[in-house]
């Protein structure tokens, strides 16, 4: 049973994948999908929560855009505070907003790219003087998602093993997985 790039998997995951496919507990495609997910995560990091929520159809792209707009508005207003407190010059402020208009990038990214200050410093100053809700908090408060769906999306975003992937996607039941692992352990210790 040739799995493409099974080398991406941990040794115990590869063994488990072979057994699950051979016993027809999961289709080869499910394992390949996890391998693709893992390779993508290696390249780009964890997926953004907003993307996970939209992909899972828990929220619409419009709801995500609404959050981003509100969040951007709060950071745009905060630029005035930075200007008043001397963290930002008039020239830097003009340059930031011109670049934002030109590129569409968010102000936090631009502040760092233009070497005005690091993202870490900006975040520290912002958090000491202002507050915006995180995406999950905002969605629950606005009744755009249930806490249960948010929790599920967070779990999906943080998948790190084949077992988690198969269980969260409903491709395998926990008792079946436990039994297979038990039999594999017995076979290797015998």
Instruction: Report pLDDT digits (tens) over 66-97.
Output: 999 999 899 999 999 999 999 999 999 999 99
Residue 42: pLDDT over 90: no
Residue of 165, 168, 173, 155 whose CA lies nearest to 32: 165
Contact assessment for residue 168 and residue 8, using Cβ atoms and an 8 Å cutoff? no
Two structure tokens written together for 16: 């488990």
Categorize the per-residue pLDDT at 2 as very low, low, confident or very high, splitting at 50, 70 and 90: low
Q: What residue has token string 């507990």?
A: 25
Give me the chain's average pLDDT, please: 91
In this prediction, residues 96-113 reach a mean pLDDT of 90
Angle at 106 between CA 102 and CA 107, to 5 degrees: 95
How far is it, in rounded angstroms, from Cα 122 to Cα 26?
A: 47
Residue 185: pLDDT over 50: yes
Ranges 4-8, 106-110, 182-186: which has the least confidence: 4-8
Residue 6: pLDDT over 70: no
Task: Give the model's pLDDT for residue 174.
Answer: 96
Predicted TM-score (pTM) of the model is 0.73
Residue 28: pLDDT over 80: yes
How far is it, in rounded angstroms, from Cα 144 to Cα 84?
A: 36
Task: Give the model's pLDDT for residue 4.
Answer: 54
Instruction: Report pLDDT digits (tens) over 116-163.
Output: 999 899 989 998 988 889 999 999 999 999 999 999 999 999 999 999
How far is it, in rounded angstroms, from Cα 79 to Cα 73?
A: 10
Percent of the chain residues topping a pLDDT of 90: 73
Task: Give the model's pLDDT for residue 131.
Answer: 84
Strand residue runs (E) in 77-174: none
Residue of 122, 41, 35, 38 whose CA lies nearest to 78: 122
- How many distinct helices (H) and strands (E) make up the chain? 11, 0
Contact assessment for residue 147 and residue 137, using Cβ atoms and an 8 Å cutoff? no
Task: Give the model's pLDDT for residue 1.
Answer: 46
């Amino acid at each position: 049973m040739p799995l493409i790039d099974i080398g991406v998997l941990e040794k115990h995951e590869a063994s488990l994948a072979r057994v699950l496919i051979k016993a027809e507990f999961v289709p080869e495609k499910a394992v390949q999908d996890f391998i693709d997910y893992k390779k993508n995560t290696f390249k780009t990091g964890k997926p953004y929560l907003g993307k996970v929520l939209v992909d899972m159809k828990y929220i619409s792209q419009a709801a995500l855009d609404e959050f981003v707009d509100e969040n951007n508005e709060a950071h745009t207003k905060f630029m005035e505070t930075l200007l008043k407190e001397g963290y930002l010059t008039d020239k830097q402020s003009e340059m930031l907003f011109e670049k934002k208009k030109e590129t569409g990038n968010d102000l936090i990214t631009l502040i760092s790219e233009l070497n005005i200050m690091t993202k870490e410093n900006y975040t520290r100053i912002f958090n000491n003087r202002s507050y915006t809700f995180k995406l999950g908090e905002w969605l629950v408060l606005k009744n755009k998602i249930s806490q249960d769906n948010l929790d599920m999306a967070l779990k999906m975003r943080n998948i790190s093993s084949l077992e988690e992937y198969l269980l969260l996607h409903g491709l395998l039941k926990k008792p079946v997985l436990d039994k297979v692992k038990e039999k594999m352990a017995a076979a290797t210790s015998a």
